Every structure is written in structure tokens, then in C-alpha cells.
Structure 1
Amino acid sequence: MAGETRPKYLKPLLEYGPILGFFVAYLLLKDRVFTIGGTDYEGFIVVTAGFIPVFLICMGLLWKLTGHLSKMQVVTAVLIVVFGGLSVWLNDERFFKMKPTLIYLIFGGALAVGLLRGESYLRLVMEELVPLQEEGWMLLTKRVMAFFLGLAVLNEVIWRTMSTESWVWFKTFGLTAAIFVFFLTQGGLFRRYGMEEDKG
């Protein structure tokens, strides 16, 4: 099958390539001002305008490659189009900077709703990747919910109190590192509640 011969790096390239591309483009254009239709646009706005179609194209290719997109990816794409579009249309970078806040609030809120109903919505997304006992899923969901809400608050603090360049560095590397470190610290939970596969 063709899917078996595709390069292993293709999927992560489509997922993370647009973000790294945004970062590089911003560093190259951050100090420039572009006059389009009589209106001056700073480099951040121009890079945002280019990021939106690139991201959507990569999501389309990812869907074609894997046959599906997660709900998180779909919601993220919608928010990028809406808030990135508002930033470009209104020539106001604040809307795009708010996007991570809303993403984490939405997913943190969704997990909170599930917990109130006695369910782990996180399990629906990650069960195939991380087989856990029911108690483990509920505990992990509580932690991820708190983590997402914390990231929402942190994003608000960063973009409201620091420079645009600081926020771009934070968005590109800080959030990714925070998520990696968070799941790295959950090793004890995975060992305690992990379900061993049938060795037979």
C-alpha cells in the first residue's frame, strides 16, 4: 500500500511545519512595514495572513494522508481562520494572540464538563495511545484540565505584558515544551494505572 511507503517525517512535518514556518517568517519580517491598498501592515500581520492558508493546506494534506482529523485539530483550524482573519482584517495583532487562550479554555472547559458528568473525554481521544484504568483516566483528565486552564492564563499574561517577539517565542517553543514536560511528569500515573497488554 502507498501509505506504508510514505516517509515517517511527513505527518509531523505537516503538523508542525506551519508553526515553524510562522516563526521563521516572523523573525525575517518583524521589523518591516508593508503598505497594501494604502494601509500599513506590520510584519506580524503579513506573516499571519500567510500562515492561515498554509496551515489549512497542511491540514488538508494531513487529512488526505491519514483519512481523519482530530476534533482538536478541527477546532484549532477554525479558531486560526477566525482570529487570524480578524487580526488581518482589522490590522490588530491582539486577536491572533488571543487564539491559544481560547483553544485551551475550550478544551479545558470540555474536559471539565465531562468530569462533571463523571466521564473522561480525554479517554475518547487518547485511549488507543495510553491504555489506562478508569481511575487513571479520571485523574489524568483532572490534571490535563487544570494544565490547559493554566496555559490559557499564562498565554494571557505573556501577550498582555510582554513584547510580540517574546510571545512568538513563547507560542512556538514555550507551549510545546510545557506540554512535553507536563506529560513527562505523568510517568508515575502511567505506571500506576497502566493496563498491561496481553503478552500472549
Structure 2
Amino acid sequence: MSTESDITPSAADRHHPLLKLALELGPLLIFFFANLRGQWLVETFPALSELGGPLFVATGLFMAATIISLIVSKIVLGHLPIMPFVSGIVVLIFGSLSIWLQNETFIKMKPTIVNALFGVALLGGLAFGRSLLGYVFNAAFQLDAEGWRKLTIRWGIFFLFLAVLNEVVWRNFSDGTWVAFKVWGTMPITIIFTLAQMPLVLKHSINPETDGEK
């Protein structure tokens, strides 16, 4: 099993951008729907009652959707993107613990663990002279070294912010509010942050083909 390790985007990445987005968002949307319609799902598929309450049913389906997403990514794209791969592992570990112990805390802390892990990894990588963000956004754009360094710092801090924000929400609000925030709150915040980085991206963008001709 190999993960995406080349900063140069693969042909599959360039040809299937919408598929990559669907594979990343799909499991989250299933998680939201399953939590919202948990009772209906249990009545329709009684076997799901073995998992526990609505949040545990949603967690089980979230895990299944994550596995399917990773398999499709491996088959169609030819590799496992780093962020979904790492997030998927944490989902399976914490989701299993949540269902097994019937303790919602584990799955609620999953975003905290994942975001903190990414934030520390990105900022820590810079300490060793590696801008790891290039391995994540390789299919989106190409930047010079300074651009990747600045963007990595910003995303590292942003991931740590998301980790803290998740802790605040799940510890102070209802399960429904947390699930809604996880799907409909985190994504808009991330999109806004991403758009805010476009001036930096445009300033440091490079054209590999043009540079190779010089």
C-alpha cells in the first residue's frame, strides 16, 4: 500500500479533481445524514441497532464509507492521498473504540487528534527544512520554495485552530450541534481560509513546464 509521495501531481489527480473532492466529503455527508436520521435507519435496518444510539450508528457508517472511499481512491487514482489516509486510520481506531466501549468521547475527539497531528506535522516539518504541504496540495498548484514555506506555516496554525475549535464545540454543545458543525461549520471555515490564501498562492506560483524550458 503506497501513499501519495510526489509533489508533482499524477495524471489521475489532474483528471479526477471532482472525484477526489467527493471521496473526501462523501463519508462526512453520510455521517451527518446517519446521525440526523439515526432512528429511521435503525427501524429500516434493525441490525444497525447493535451499534447503539444514533451517533454510534453514524460512526459505524462513517467508518464503512471511509474504507470504501480509500479503496476507490486506491483503484481509480492509483494511490492513497496522505490526509484522507491518516484521517481514515484515526477514524477507524477512534470509531471502533467509541462503538466497542459505547463512549462518544472517542469519535468526538477524532477531529481534534487529526487536526492537531496535521498542524504539528506541518510546523515540525519546517524545522527539518521540509514543506510537507506540497505533498497535500500537489494536484492543485505548484509554488516556489518560499511560497510552500509560508503556506505551510499558515496551514499548520490553521489546523491547530481547528483542533481547539472542535474541543470547544463538542465539550460545550449538544451532539446534534457538534455533528452539524463538523460537516457544515468546519468546511465553510476551511473554504474561506483557503480562498484567503489565494494572493499568496498567485504570488508564488510557478509553471514547471515553462521553468524547464529556461
TM-score (norm 2): 0.80
CA distance in structure 1 between the aligned counterparts of 2:168 and 2:132, rounded to whole angstroms: 28
- CA deviations on 1:153-196 (whole Å, 9 max, x unpaired) are 00000000111111101111111111111110012111222224
Rounded to whole Å, the distance in 2 between the matches of 1:71 and 1:40 is 29
Distance 1:8 1:71, change over 3 A: closer
| Alignment of 1:20 onto 2:29 | yes
Whole-Å separation in 1 of the counterparts to 2:124 and 2:160:
13
In 2 relative to 1, CA 174–73 (structure 1 residues): closer, same or farther, beyond 3 Å?
Answer: same
For structure 2, list consecutive stretches of 5 or more residues without a partner in the other structure: 1-11
Distance 1:135 1:62 in 2: 31
CA distance in 1, matches of 2:143, 2:85: 26
Shift of 1:57: 1.8
Offset from partner CA, 1:104-151 (integer Å, 9 cap, x none): 111111111111122211123324522112111111111000000000
- Using the alignment, how far apart are the partners of 2:144 and 2:17 within structure 1? 31
Please give the TM-score of this superposition, normalised by the length of structure 1: 0.85
* Distance change >3 Å, CA 75–CA 113, structure 1 → 2: same
Q: More relative contact order in 1 or in 2 (CA 8 Å, sep 6+)?
A: 2
2:125/2:131 contact within 8 Å kept: yes
Aligned residues: 195
For 2:16 and 2:51, the matched residues in 1 are separated by: 42
Identity of aligned residues (%): 37
2:34 touches 2:41 (CA, 8 Å); kept in 1? no
- Counterparts in 2 of 1:14 and 1:114: CA distance versus 1, 3 Å: closer
**Paired residue for 2:75?**
64
Following TM superposition, where does structure 1 have runs of at least 4 consecutive aligned residues deviating by more than 4 angstroms? Answer: 6-11, 30-36
Give the alignment partner of residue 109 of structure 1, picking from 102, 109, 120: 120
Report what 2:132 is aligned to: 121
Q: Deviations over 1:41-82 (max 9, x none)?
A: 221112212221232122212211111111212111110110
User: Are 1:30 and 1:44, in contact at CA under 8 Å, matched by a contact in 2?
Assistant: no
User: Residue type of the partner of 2:26?
Assistant: G
**Aligned residue among 170, 176, 179 for 1:168:** 179
Aligned to 2:103: 92
| 2:84 aligned residue | 73
Shift of 1:31: 9.4
1:21 Cα offset (Å): 1.4
- Note the aligned Cα RMSD (angstroms): 2.8
State whether structure 2 residue 140 is matched by structure 1 residue 134.
Answer: no
